[in-house]
Amino acid sequence: MAGIANNLFKVVFGVLLIVVAIWFVTSPLGSDWGQAAWNLIQGGIVILVVLIGLVLLLVGFSDLKNAE
């Protein structure tokens, strides 16, 4: 029973952090933060796509090597 409560606490705390972050970015207090966060996300997406491509390339080479 304690495991369920612990997992539920993690879920509720995670949702709370996300809601607070979204509120702060969209509020007048953090308007500059919103643009900076959006720029960071856009740059992160490019890096993520490149890293996924590299991982797929390495996995493909590994599978080709093991197929012989």
Each residue of 24-62: pLDDT tens digit? 777 776 667 778 888 888 889 989 999 999 999 999 988
The interaxial angle of helices 31-67 and 2-26, nearest 10 deg, is 130
Asked whether the predicted pLDDT for residue 6 surpasses 80, the reply is no
Q: What is the reported pLDDT for 49?
A: 92
The band of 1, judged by pLDDT with boundaries at 50, 70 and 90, is: low
C-alpha angle with apex 55: 41 to 51, nearest 5 degrees?
A: 20
